[in-house]
């Protein structure tokens, strides 16, 4: 028996797999998005099972607080990029397969070409913005998606976009309100839970490749590790959701998934920067009585409470900077304006107080 | 009819229970949800989907002679 056969012997002797199944595994290409709590266990089993080509994309670095659940890593991995650190360990686990690493963020710019090079995508991400991006890119490139997600002691597993089945958007068409679902780093997670869920995702990937068993297609599996209870729910494909995604294919690179999930990037300017800029439209969102006025900037005076009503006074085309007294209300104003389609917009860090101090220091 | 309501994830935290039995007349999912939100105001903060007898349904689904309603929130963690 050659070394290859001895490595996979215990799965090759399963009549459902055999040499032909092993050949299918070694001919397949799986891309794992995120080498964290879910990605690590999935990567370990997929590597050990002999998936021929595995891609790992992750921009993040290993931290000590990852080690209680991301057991692919050890002390020596701390500070290293996760995709690279994962490959270091996986190569030792199985040197006979190809492992491609992408130590970068998954974006709308790289997703489609990356997904096109693989057969199956495994979602091990930790935020809604990337999850919707991954789902939509799978729909556009026609790749099945092995989905998993966790919350404290509970997990979800499903296979989306497989054999005309439902997609993630057929289950959750819209992301939840920003900030309403806490992440593992905010709320904590029992280390073994992503181990179980990530392993289940890997199991779905193997079943798809081998063509055995029942794939979790059209079903959402919920697992509660405290009550040790599994429940599964049927999901229907919603064609309207799928065609909506396909319609975005042409402009995919320009979609802002953070914005879609309510995560706004608010640009900030310092007082120093403000006084170096020219041809800017300023908006003072404070109440009329608030002092000091920054008259040298000739701002439009629109209190925050009247902003939506008086938005028409603001020139869409012009670079716009908002300020308030200390920089809190102006952030809210930028959010409101961004939601209403204003793009060239930022706010002043420290507000009128910072502007006034800077101005006074120049006069002296 | 008697219905078993199951709460998952943060919905179990909002209601402080994982499961309960309620007595209700046959009704639309939207009516049931309104009733539950009135009873547990914290549910207003959460987005979730509804499954009746393990089938995902819309808010205009009519619940009659069914036994189980599950409220399913999205999870993001990984």
pLDDT tens string A321-358? 999 999 989 988 998 898 888 889 999 999 999 999 99
State whether A182 and A198 are in the same domain.
yes
Alpha carbons A322 and A344: distance in angstroms, whole number: 11
Question: Which of A260, A282, A311 is the last residue before a domain boundary?
Answer: A260
Name the domain boundary from A214, A245, A260: A260
Identify the pLDDT of residue B66: 83
| Beta bridge pairs of residue A31 | A55, A121
| The predicted structure's pLDDT at residue A117 | 98
Same domain, A95 and A238: yes
In which domain, by residue range, is A79 found? 3-260
**Tally of structural domains, chain A:** 2
Question: Could you tell me which residues are beta bridge partners of residue A220?
Answer: A233
**A219 and A144, same domain (yes or no):** yes
* pLDDT tens-place values along chain B, 78 residues long: 999 999 999 999 999 999 999 999 989 999 999 999 999 999 998 999 999 999 999 999 999 988 899 999 999 999
Residues of chain A with pLDDT > 70, as a percent, come to 98
Asked if A233 lies within 8 A of B55 by C-beta distance, the reply is: yes
Q: Are residues A212 and A301 in the same domain?
A: no
Quickly count: other Cβ atoms within 10 Å of residue A91's Cβ: 13
Is a pLDDT exceeding 70 seen at residue A1? no
Same domain, A230 and A286: no
Tell me which residue of A360, A151, A254, A63 sits closest to B13, measured CA to CA: A151
ipTM for this model? 0.96
Q: Which residues from A are below 8 Å from B when comparing CB atoms? A: 34, 36-39, 123-128, 131, 148-152, 154-156, 171-172, 174-177, 180-184, 189, 194, 220, 222, 224, 227, 231-236
With beta carbons less than 8 A apart as the criterion, state whether A184 and A154 touch. no
A177 and A276 together in one domain = no
The answer to whether A314 and A337 have CB atoms below 8 angstroms apart is yes
Confidence label for A4 from pLDDT (cuts 50, 70 and 90): low
| pLDDT for A42 | 98
CATH number at residue A356: 3.40.250.10
**Residue A285 sits in the same domain as residue A330:** yes
Domains in chain B, start-ordered, CATH in brackets?
A: 2-72 (3.10.20.30)
The string of pLDDT tens digits covering residues A55-109 is 999 999 999 999 999 999 999 999 999 999 999 999 999 999 999 999 999 999 9
Nearest to B51 among A34, A126, A233 (CB): A233
What backbone torsions phi and psi does residue A114 show, to the nearest 5 degrees? Answer: -65, -50
Higher pLDDT, A259 or A227: A227
User: For residue A22, what is the domain's CATH number?
Assistant: 3.40.50.720
Decide if B76 and A183 are in contact by the 8 Å CB cutoff. Answer: yes
- Look at residue A364 in the predicted model and tell me its pLDDT: 59
């Amino acid at each position: 028996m050659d070394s290859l056969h001895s490595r996979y012997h215990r799965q090759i002797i399963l009549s459902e797999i055999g040499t032909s199944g092993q050949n299918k595994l070694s001919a397949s290409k799986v891309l794992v998005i995120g080498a964290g709590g879910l990605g690590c266990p999935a990567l370990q089993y997929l590597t050990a099972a002999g998936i021929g080509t595995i891609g790992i994309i992750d921009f993040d670095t290993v931290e000590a607080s990852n080690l209680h659940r991301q057991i692919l890593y050890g002390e020596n991995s701390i500070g290293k990029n996760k995709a690279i650190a994962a490959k270091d360990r996986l190569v030792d686990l199985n040197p006979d397969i190809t492992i491609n690493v992408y130590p970068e963020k998954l974006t709308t710019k790289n997703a489609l070409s990356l997904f096109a090079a693989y057969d199956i995508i495994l979602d091990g991400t930790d935020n809604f913005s990337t999850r919707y991006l991954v789902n939509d890119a799978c729909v556009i490139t026609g790749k099945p998606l092995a989905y998993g997600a966790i919350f404290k002691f509970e997990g979800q597993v499903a296979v989306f976009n497989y054999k005309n089945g439902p997609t993630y958007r057929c289950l959750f068409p819209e992301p939840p309100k920003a900030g309403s679902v806490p992440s593992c780093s905010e709320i904590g997670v029992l280390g073994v839970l992503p181990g179980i869920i990530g392993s289940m995702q890997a199991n779905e990937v193997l079943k798809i490749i081998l063509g055995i068993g029942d794939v979790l297609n059209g079903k959402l599996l919920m697992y509660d590790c405290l009550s040790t209870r599994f429940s599964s729910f049927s999901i229907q494909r919603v064609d309207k959701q799928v065609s909506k995604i396909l319609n975005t294919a042409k402009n995919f690179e320009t979609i802002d998934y953070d914005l879609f999930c309510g995560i706004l990037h608010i640009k900030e300017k310092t007082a120093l920067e403000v006084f170096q800029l020219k041809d800017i439209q300023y908006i003072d969102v404070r109440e009329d009585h608030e002092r000091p006025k920054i008259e040298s900037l000739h701002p439009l005076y629109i209190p925050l409470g009247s902003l939506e009503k008086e938005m028409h006074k603001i020139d869409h085309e012009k670079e716009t900077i908002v300020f308030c007294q200390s920089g809190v209300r102006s952030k809210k104003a930028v959010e409101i304006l961004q939601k209403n389609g204003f793009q060239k917009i930022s706010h002043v860090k420290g507000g009128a107080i910072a502007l006034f101090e800077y101005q006074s220091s120049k006069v002296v | 009819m008697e219905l078993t309501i199951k709460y998952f994830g943060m919905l179990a935290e909002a209601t402080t229970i994982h499961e309960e039995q309620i007595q209700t007349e046959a009704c639309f999912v939207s009516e049931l949800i309104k009733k539950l939100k009135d009873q547990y105001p914290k549910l207003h903060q959460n987005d979730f989907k509804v499954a009746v007898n393990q089938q995902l349904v819309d808010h205009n689904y009519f619940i009659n002679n069914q036994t189980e309603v599950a409220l399913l929130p999205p999870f993001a963690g990984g």
